[in-house]
Amino acid sequence: MTGVSQATVSLVLNNRTGDDVRIAPETRQRVLDAIRATGYVADPVARRLVSGRNRILGVFTYEPVFPSTAADFYHPFLVGIEQRAEQLGCDLLLFTSSSQLAGDGGAGRRRIFHADSRIGIADGTILLGRRVDRDDLVRLVGEGHAFVSVGRRDDAGGPVPYVGADYPAAVAALVERAGELGHARIGYLGTGGPAESHADRLRGFRPTGAGGTGQYRVHLPPPAREWPAAIERERLTAVFLEEHADAAALVVAARARGWSVPGDLSVVALGEPGAAGPLDDALTRLRIPRREMGWQAVEQLTAAIEGGAEPAVQRLLPCTVYAGSTFGPRRDRP
């Protein structure tokens, strides 16, 4: 159609320019016109054989993330991942396959490496999930795969590249603010692990000099309606809770007991609502930079792919606080 060599078509198709590439403007335009007329696109498999890359980024999810709505926990992560991938000219491939392991009851659980794993189709992979399988991490690090975890992960035989949220700094700032508001006894309700995000929240819950604040990690057994009695025994005037749903339940239980929130008890959620949890706009809570984490995970992964093997980049992004109306000055309960 163009009367030029295959090599010239290849140079135009791949947008090659420079002193070593001499193609007349009219020749380049003739090739571009032919490409548009035929609807030709490069074979991604053939292109990968030449360049070693196909500009496909994998997203491996350890938990279901679709269908998603604006209120879902994973939705902002996925928005950030999609937006940045589109800007960089990359396609996304969602990996969801399970491995049928002994003891799974036949249901299978999501693991990256199994007999039918297709992880190698992508240039690199973003890991998404509250809990990431440690055996997968060890193998990814050990075999030198290009990957980035959304969320801080402990080392797995080597440093794990991640983009996470700086929970310790955010929680510590809230503790200090509680002291400034006169709260001398505040409680922490949550597991504190083994998930790194929970461990990080608890790590930030430490004494500060403001107001002589004391911290008390409390174990409140369900049902939630019995929590106020335990809080009263501990003489707590503020409680920080790992889970948004637990914080919302405590507000309901406190008010059912006749307490005002935050007058008699301040309540702070140290995270966003889960996929199935309702959003309580009145609840004071940490806001996780979820869209930014997804966005920067794509940037970090593509930089690693383009730049080759480099030390793992570990990045923490600051959290902010949604003020709500459940966190205020201490007032002794009657």
Instruction: Give pLDDT tens digits for 278-316.
Output: 567 799 999 999 999 999 999 999 999 887 656 689 999
Return the higher-pLDDT residue of 84 and 107.
84
Boundaries of domain holding 113: 56-165+290-319
Looking up residue 255, the CATH number of its domain turns out to be 3.40.50.2300
**Both structure tokens of 58:** 């994998």
Tell me 103's DSSP state.
T
For 291, which DSSP code?
H
CB neighbourhood size of 44 (10 A):
14
Are 279 and 176 in a shared domain? yes
Looking at the fold, whether 224 and 182 belong to one and the same domain comes out as yes
Phi-psi region of 213 (alpha: psi -120 to 50; beta: other; left: phi over 0): beta
Question: What angle is formed at CA 43 by the lines to CA 48 and CA 113, rounded to 5 degrees?
Answer: 50
> Which tens digits make up the pLDDT trace of 149-186?
999 999 888 899 999 999 999 999 999 999 899 998 88
Instruction: Examine the domain organization and report whether 133 and 213 are in the same domain.
Output: no
pTM, whole model, 2 decimals?
0.78
Nearest to 332 by CA among 255, 256, 266, 273: 266
Looking at the fold, whether 144 and 247 belong to one and the same domain comes out as no
Phi, psi of 283 (to 5 degrees): -80, 125
